[in-house]
């Protein structure tokens, strides 16, 4: 919301008459002043909000107490914010409001009576005072800028020192954390290597046990093979012995039979003599 004063400041001080109630089919304008879109205006010195029910068009100029003229835009806010003449005049107008029907207020009939224009000499004098005030304001503004710049430089330097200290502390802390982290990683790797070494030792022991078991199986197999060979040799010897015994038994049976036959021949014919070999040949 803009801040400032209307023509000669009366509007900004809320000295316009209240808006009349609208009736149906009533034209919303009085004596060439627009009332269709009331504008809310904030007085920069009294912090009072004023609704302009009857105001000039937006192209009409606003005149400050110091003599400067502005249109309805943001520049009026900047001017009235620093203009001491307008502030004093506004406070004076608040202390001594104009009577009803006076210039700039209202005649009570919905028509604003414009005040008499100020004289040229008064305007020139007011503008001279305004120029002096502007110069003073510029000097004050420059002094403020210098002070602000110096304080800003000190603040920046202090912040820089604080940032450097923080960076140094952060860097040292980060370096310590990094070293501790690397140390932790190295310890973890060492423990992992120890575990791997232990696992390799266990695997080596298991391989040795498997090798010993294989050697035992090989010895047992060789022994078993040797035993089988001995058994087979014994069995072969036994078969030979059985064969010899059978042959001997057969020979004995044959000899016995021949002897019996010879004995029978002698009993029947004593002159009958036959040898086993001769009998064998005869046979």
Render each residue's pLDDT in the chain as its tens digit; 283 residues. 333 334 334 334 333 333 444 444 444 333 333 344 444 544 444 455 545 444 444 444 455 555 555 444 444 444 544 555 555 655 565 556 555 544 443 333 333 333 444 444 444 444 555 566 677 777 777 777 777 777 777 877 877 887 788 888 888 888 888 888 888 999 999 999 999 999 999 999 999 999 999 999 888 888 888 888 777 777 776 777 777 777 777 777 767 776 776 666 666 665 555 555 445 445 4
Measure the CA–CA gap between 141 and 143, rounded to whole angstroms: 5
Q: What is the pLDDT of residue 226?
A: 82
Rg, C-alpha atoms of the chain: 70
Q: For residue range 28-84, what is the model confidence (pLDDT) as tens digits?
A: 333 333 344 444 544 444 455 545 444 444 444 455 555 555 444 444 444 544 555
Q: What is the pLDDT of residue 105?
A: 38
Whether residue 1 contacts residue 95, with contact meaning beta carbons closer than 8 Å, is answered with: no
| Bridge partners, residue 30, by sequence | 33
Measure the CA–CA gap between 30 and 22, rounded to whole angstroms: 12
- Residue 262 burial (C-beta neighbours within 10 Å; 0-12, 13-18, 19+): middle
Phi, psi (degrees; rounded to nearest 5) at 34: -75, 135
Measure the CA–CA gap between 18 and 32, rounded to whole angstroms: 17
């Amino acid at each position: 919301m803009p801040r400032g004063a209307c023509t000669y400041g009366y509007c900004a001080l809320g000295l316009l008459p209240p808006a009349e109630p609208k009736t149906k089919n009533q034209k919303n304008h009085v004596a060439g002043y627009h009332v269709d879109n009331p504008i809310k205006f904030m007085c920069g010195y009294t912090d009072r909000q004023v609704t302009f029910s009857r105001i000039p068009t937006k192209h009409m100029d606003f005149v400050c107490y110091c003599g400067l003229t502005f249109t309805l835009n943001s520049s009026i806010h900047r001017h009235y914010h620093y203009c001491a003449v307008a502030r004093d005049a506004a406070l004076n107008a608040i202390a001594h409001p104009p009577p009803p029907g006076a210039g700039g207020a209202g005649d009570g009939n919905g028509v604003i009576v414009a005040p008499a224009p100020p004289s040229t000499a008064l305007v020139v004098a007011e503008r001279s005072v305004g120029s002096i005030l502007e110069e003073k304001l510029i000097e004050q503004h420059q002094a403020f800028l210098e002070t602000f710049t110096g304080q800003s430089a000190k603040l920046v330097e202090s912040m820089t020192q604080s940032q450097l200290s923080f960076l140094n502390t952060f860097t040292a802390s980060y370096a310590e954390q990094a070293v501790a982290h690397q140390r932790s990683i190295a310890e973890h790797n060492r423990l992992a290597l120890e575990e791997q070494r232990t696992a390799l030792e266990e695997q080596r022991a298991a391989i040795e046990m498997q090798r010993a078991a294989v050697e035992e199986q090989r010895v047992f197999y060789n022994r078993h093979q040797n035993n089988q060979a001995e058994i087979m040799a014994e069995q072969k010897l036994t078969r030979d012995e059985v064969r010899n015994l059978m042959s001997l038994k057969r020979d004995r049976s044959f000899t016995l039979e021949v002897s019996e036959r010879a004995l029978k021949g002698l009993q029947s014919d004593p002159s009958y003599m036959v040898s086993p070999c001769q009998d064998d040949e005869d046979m």
